[in-house]
Amino acid sequence: MTAPNWEIGGRALGSRLLLGTARYPSLAVLQQAIHASGAAIVTVSLRRESASGRAGSQFWRTIKELGVQVLPNTAGCKTVKEAVTTAEMAREVFETPWLKLEVIGDDYTLQPHPFLLVEAAEALCRRGFEVFPYTTEDLVVAERLIQAGCKILMPWGAPIGSGQGLNNPYALRTLRARYPEISLIVDAGIGKPSHAIQAMEMGYDGVLVNTAVARATDPVQMGRAFGLAVAAGRLAYLAGAMLTQEMAEPSTPVTGTPFWHSAPPEPTK
């Protein structure tokens, strides 16, 4: 999990796991979970860290010490103006043009607002940001985001924090097949390491996890489990998984194998 094997946003990274930093029981547990997972990218909400005052400064120092790539996000934004303003502040605070763009359109499902998302992406790409838009698996929205200048897309697996996994595998496979040259990262809804493996086996470039690690009984061990799962899923994709079929097929060839049959039973008198 440590050798550079992924180039994204102009950087070579050693892990395809992205880890969120919210909702951990303590800063120490967060630090240990990041280390155990091997994650090379962590997401940070500017609003959350700014609101926490001195605690936010301590958090930022801790992240810097870990040497991971920071991906600020615009969590909680509902308008283009909010998203663009937050992005500009994040670029200054975290010293990176990388940005996970969130523009929420529904309070219940936290589904991205497709129209405002595209508008905000256009504005931020013009301003020199490397935009990672949090979107749905919709092909039309994906095309508009790519036209806006996005080279990376982050389709959801399921609503944020739901732990449901990949609700629409067909659409996610279709998106992967349609845009083979675009970096695709499954974001939101991942609840178990098996969900991450499923996404990686489809050929997705990475997986973002937050709640499933932060709210685990042991976040450090769960972080390690997700790091291994993402690596295993990627290896399985590269190795070429066998195709499914309806009929059984013996794993041991039977051609030329002798068979011995017992004599038929004696007739009963």
Residues with Cβ within 8 Å of 72's Cβ and at least 6 positions away in sequence, in order, are 43, 44, 45, 46, 87, 90, 91, 93, 94, 96, 98, 99, 100
Of 1 and 18, which is predicted with more confidence? 18
Q: In the prediction, which pLDDT does 25 show?
A: 93
Q: What is the DSSP letter of 17?
A: E
pLDDT tens across 7-30, in order?
Answer: 998 889 989 999 999 999 999 999
The angle at the Cα of 130, spanning 11 to 82, to the nearest 5 degrees, equals: 145
pLDDT tens across 211-241, in order?
Answer: 999 999 999 999 999 999 999 999 999 999 8
Give residue for tokens 């400064």: 57
Task: Report whether 116 contacts 80 (CB < 8 A).
Answer: yes
Catalytic machinery residues:
100
Cα dist from 169 to 18, 41, 100, 130, 204, whole Å: 20, 25, 23, 27, 12
Separation CA 110–CA 206 (nearest Å): 21
Q: In the prediction, which pLDDT does 197 show?
A: 97
Count how many residues are written for the chain. Answer: 269
Q: In the prediction, which pLDDT does 51 show?
A: 46
Examine the pLDDT at 117 and tell me if it is beyond 50: yes
pLDDT tens across 159-212, in order?
Answer: 999 999 999 999 999 999 999 999 999 999 999 999 999 999 999 999 999 999
Q: What is the DSSP letter of 27?
A: H
Average pLDDT over residues 39-61: 71
Q: In the prediction, which pLDDT does 260 show?
A: 57
Q: In the prediction, which pLDDT does 243 show?
A: 82
Q: In the prediction, which pLDDT does 193 show?
A: 97
Which segment of 7-11, 19-23, 46-50, 112-116 scores lowest on mean pLDDT?
Answer: 46-50
Q: In the prediction, which pLDDT does 63 show?
A: 80
Separation CA 230–CA 238 (nearest Å): 12
pLDDT tens across 95-104, in order?
Answer: 899 999 999 9
Q: SS3 of 185, please?
A: strand
CB atoms within 10 A of CB 262: 5
